[in-house]
Amino acid sequence: MYPKSFFIHTIGCQMNVSDSERMARSLTPLGYVPAVSADQADLVVVNTCSVRAKAEQKAFSLLGQLAVIKARRPEMVVVVAGCVAQQEGERLRQRAPHVDLILGTRAIQRLGPLLQRLPAHSGPLVDVEMGDLPDETDGARLGESNDGVSRFVTIMRGCDNFCAYCVVPYVRGREVSRSPEAILHEIRGLCDAGVREVTLLGQNVNSYGAKEGICSFAQLLRHVNAVEGLARIRFTTSHPKDLTPELIDCFATLEKLCPHIHLPVQSGSNPILARMNRNYTREHYLDKVAKLRNSCRQIAITSDIIVGFPGERRADFEATLDLMQQVEFDSVFAFMYSDRPNTPARLLSDKLPEREKRERLHAVLELQERVTAAKHQALLGSVQEVLTDGFSKRPAAAAEDSGEQWTGRTRGNKIVHFIDAGSRADDTANRPGRMVRVRIERALAHSLWGRLERPHAFGSPLKRGDSCCAESTLPD
């Protein structure tokens, strides 16, 4: 008898990626093994996102494809999880009658028991209960073998900010922080299994612990920094209004904290920021950026931009472009505004035409491409510290390139593909998780290309003139 197989298709943010990992681990004790595709799986989970209309449309498109497969293989179990499941709930039964289980954002830990109930249940099961979350000490993941060197660790769930455009508080609930003890226990277990980098996740990590009266986010970072075997710490996402001096100082004092912050600004116009209910001004945001760069000279700053928010005049949009030029973000995620269920912005009447929104999006992306290209060009000839993820799937940058092609990220979160002329695929010393020195030889649109200089055993720190130097040249 063959074991049952599963396939999880993840749409959306890092939180969804983390949730998918947890669901996958919960299926192993039930006898499931991963499948290479949905077409071959006994169980298919679509972990959905509804933050933007395009992501929601993608989810329903996938469900349509699964309906065709299930018509051929009616025994296949289809699960819809995540934000669309939470948002639609019982309504999904009419729109996608082939779905067997509808699993809300705070029900993923109940996936196993619900699957066991399905055979005796008539019709689809729906669990979108938004009750209190248990502390997520995930014993299943601790001590397990792991091929990855970087993992997401959820430190809190939900959001209390209620930005006018955002559906997150309605589909993920109010803020709830995990205990520092549970977080540290999880990270230590991951390090024992070979993980070398963790990304701490929350809708607004800057407000971690405030409601519960536990340690601040900066204090949590100091505890994580002390975990043995861990090399790098990242986090996302930060709300500008809650970025404290204590947290900013962490970039100067914690050697494992990577010099990169994702700090969504959304707009450079004060009237639009007020209408979005962001609770900070353009001046406040620029002041935080200045303090970050004063604390960590070459910190990489990335951001989110929404174009075409209701009522956005040309002058408002020009203010956004001006702010981008002042800050010079390392990269941005830019989106056209779209109405989302339950949000206050959907009721605003002064919506912009789609054509105008597309033109503004193009202008934002064009500006950012120029800035990113200049930043990449400035790194030519420098030597970067790269944590290797694995073999690169990108074609060789030049015909003369020979040797194994690897990929990894700098401390400033830039992707680097590089050549290691002395490595072999079957050489156990050349494994993901190495910390290496790479000299940058080519600047590409979304990544860098280089050549290995001197490999270092993991845990042997590379000397720097500046402990928070994001992308500057390391000494030869």
Q: Is the pLDDT of residue 467 over 90?
A: no
Angle of CA points 20, 24, 28, to nearest 5°: 170
Q: Is the pLDDT of residue 451 over 90?
A: yes
Task: Return d(Cα 394, Cα 455) in angstroms, integer.
Answer: 21
**Domain check: are 236 and 366 in the same one?**
yes
What pLDDT does residue 148 have?
78
Comparison of pLDDT for 456 and 233, the residue scoring more: 233
What pLDDT does residue 132 have?
62
**Domain check: are 44 and 104 in the same one?**
yes
Query: pLDDT confidence of 120, banded at 50, 70, 90?
Result: confident
User: Is residue 149 in a domain?
Assistant: yes
Task: Return d(Cα 304, Cα 262) in angstroms, integer.
Answer: 8
Q: Is the pLDDT of residue 366 over 70?
A: yes
How high does pLDDT run on average in the chain?
Answer: 90
Q: Is beta strand 197-201 parallel, antiparallel or unpaired with respect to 150-154?
A: parallel
**Domain check: are 74 and 101 in the same one?**
yes
Q: Is the pLDDT of residue 107 over 50?
A: yes
**Domain check: are 117 and 143 in the same one?**
no
307 φ, ψ to 5°? Answer: -105, 150
- Output the domain CATH number for residue 388: 2.40.50
User: Is residue 461 in a domain?
Assistant: no
If phi > 0 it is left, if psi is from -120 to 50 it is alpha, else beta; for residue 187 that is alpha
Q: Is the pLDDT of residue 401 over 80?
A: no
> What residue has token string 């002395």?
422
Q: Is the pLDDT of residue 143 over 60?
A: no
Q: How many residues make up the chain in this entry?
A: 476
Task: Return d(Cα 279, Cα 53) in angstroms, integer.
Answer: 25
What pLDDT does residue 2 have?
73
Give the CA-trace dihedral at 392, 398, 400, 406, to 10 degrees: -10
**Domain check: are 257 and 345 in the same one?**
yes
Query: pLDDT confidence of 134, banded at 50, 70, 90?
Result: low
User: Is residue 472 in a domain?
Assistant: no
Per the structure, the complete domain to which residue 86 belongs is given by 4-127
**Domain check: are 149 and 265 in the same one?**
yes
pLDDT tens-digit map of 246-270: 999 999 999 999 999 999 999 999 9
What pLDDT does residue 139 have?
40
**Domain check: are 172 and 243 in the same one?**
yes
What pLDDT does residue 412 have?
97
Q: Is the pLDDT of residue 426 over 80?
A: no
Q: Is the pLDDT of residue 358 over 50?
A: yes
Q: Is the pLDDT of residue 428 over 50?
A: no
Sequence-separated (6 or more) residues with CB below 8 Å from residue 297: 466, 468, 469
